[in-house]
Structure 1
């Protein structure tokens, strides 16, 4: 289960032409593995997300990328953070995750969520539907995918998906963990309690985490699930460098490439866990002190500088070890 994960959310790198992006991503994954991260994630999106960049910035299809990274790493688990359920038929997704498990030697994790990026759906022709539709779809998808990953035959006549005696051969090499992403207390955390091995609380401030954890515990109690069986991690966006001045310079380099104004740069500093190792370490410790089990971190401004990944691992490993 994840104690310390590294996500790669950005593919726009100062001084790196588009043809060299993948080589840099490989270097990041290898640096994360060397630094002691136990999982490497990429986003399951086709357009870059608001707050990181423009929709037409570089973005790779995640499962092709993860399968390729499997050939360049040896021990880190590999996952989407998280798969948008609306983008894939659940039976196909079960086959995709199984293939990733085989090509990685048993290192696949299924990270999955309901889907939220409306522009992406509208632009590319994926059905978006209502909030209720997306969560109904996610639950039906889990009722298909999880048994398929366990080697069972599945029949489901659902509102959104129908399968008849569906099977998944060959079976996965490993017992694939199910990570459900999102922080919704009524729907998402109930599904975590019912179906998940892991929960990732995306972008939740430290002062909100105890309430989320209480909500998850209440769902577990109601469903007869032991809360200790579920690993809860939190996603934190970081910009760390050996000195505050170097962190400022890293962010300024990215801002120049993306065309960000001074106001956007200041806004980014407020969103990021930003600064030197002492400053970043204190904030990550505060996040862990809220009661979570681990951290998933990214470096959207300077992850292409792999020495920053090493630095992040050096300061975060002791924080998540206990």
Structure 2
């Protein structure tokens, strides 16, 4: 199973940069940031956003870059298409679009953004991803959905290869059922019941969908947890690293 470093982005840029470079050198599969406008703690800085991934892409060699996750409510489809395309080019194809339907509503309230109901958010996410895949072909695209509408939309230069889409479903069974129909990977909270549910939904879908987990706190029995996830069919684990970010080497030793 592959191990990814989900870095809490409360550090200054120099620290965040050094953590990502260490993760790259140690052989971790991916580095991710919690992608929000701000945190629940007003006193915390929150160093995330598209530009951070561009900088990390230029500073690293092999590690994959996976937002955990972009909130669809905060970004128009054109922004998602263009930013993912440019980051794919800068990183040599290492960028993956981690994206979710949105469930952290304090930032939408803070910035005056509309929050639809859950069913609408889930349906709009699916339409967004399907529209992005069409735009990423490099062709002019018109798309008529209930929530996403494009007219001769283009995104050039097109990515050299397909941009992987990782849907962050958390513990939402409804979103898991939807995401297995179109995502390359479904990411769920590291809860045993939810992991089993997602695995079963993937198997029922008959689609080639990877399964990953997201763990907010570092477990005391991390080796046991990693083995359990692997036995449940998990392909990748996103382990969260908190200051002082001293678990990078330990995490690298768990991969296999």
Conserved 8 A contact 1:237-1:297 = yes
Choose which of 142, 147, 167 in structure 2 pairs with 1:180: 167
Q: Does 1:65 align with 2:57?
A: no
Choose which of 15, 34, 43 in structure 2 pairs with 1:43: 34
User: Post-superposition shift, 1:295?
Assistant: 1.1
Q: Does 1:110 align with 2:110?
A: no
CA distance in 1, matches of 2:194, 2:66: 26
Partner in structure 2 of residue 310 of structure 1: 249
Q: Aligned residues, how many? A: 256
Question: For 1:203-223, what per-residue CA distance to the aligned partner results, in whole angstroms no more than 9, with x for missing partners?
Answer: 2312442222112322x14xx
Question: For 1:124-179, what per-residue CA distance to the aligned partner results, in whole angstroms no more than 9, with x for missing partners?
Answer: 12221211221122122112111112223321233333210111110113321111
Question: For 1:249-296, what per-residue CA distance to the aligned partner results, in whole angstroms no more than 9, with x for missing partners?
Answer: xxxxxxxxxxxxxxxxxxxxxxxx13xxxx321222223222212211
Aligned pair in 2 of structure 1 residues 207, 144: CA closer, same or farther (>3 Å)? closer
Pairs within 5 Å for 1:4-15:
4-12=3-11
Conserved 8 A contact 1:200-1:232 = yes
User: Post-superposition shift, 1:298?
Assistant: 1.5
User: Post-superposition shift, 1:112?
Assistant: 0.9
Question: For 1:223-250, what per-residue CA distance to the aligned partner results, in whole angstroms no more than 9, with x for missing partners?
Answer: xx3xxx22111112344xxxxxxxxxxx
- Segments of 5+ residues of structure 2 without an aligned counterpart are none
Q: Does 1:22 align with 2:8?
A: no
| SS of equivalent to 1:187 | helix
Partner in structure 1 of residue 233 of structure 2: 291
CA distance in 1, matches of 2:81, 2:147: 17
CA distance in 1, matches of 2:172, 2:196: 12
CA distance in 1, matches of 2:182, 2:194: 23
Partner in structure 2 of residue 231 of structure 1: 210
User: Post-superposition shift, 1:34?
Assistant: 1.4
Conserved 8 A contact 2:9-2:48 = no
User: Considering only CA atoms, is the larger Rg found in Structure 1 or Structure 2?
Assistant: 1
TM-score by length of 1: 0.74
Conserved 8 A contact 1:102-1:172 = yes
| SS of equivalent to 1:81 | coil
Choose which of 184, 188, 196 in structure 2 pairs with 1:210: 196
User: Could you say what the CA RMSD is over the residues aligned between the two structures, in angstroms?
Assistant: 1.9
Conserved 8 A contact 1:79-1:110 = yes
Q: Does 1:131 align with 2:70?
A: no
Pairs within 5 Å for 1:247-266:
none
Conserved 8 A contact 2:9-2:16 = no
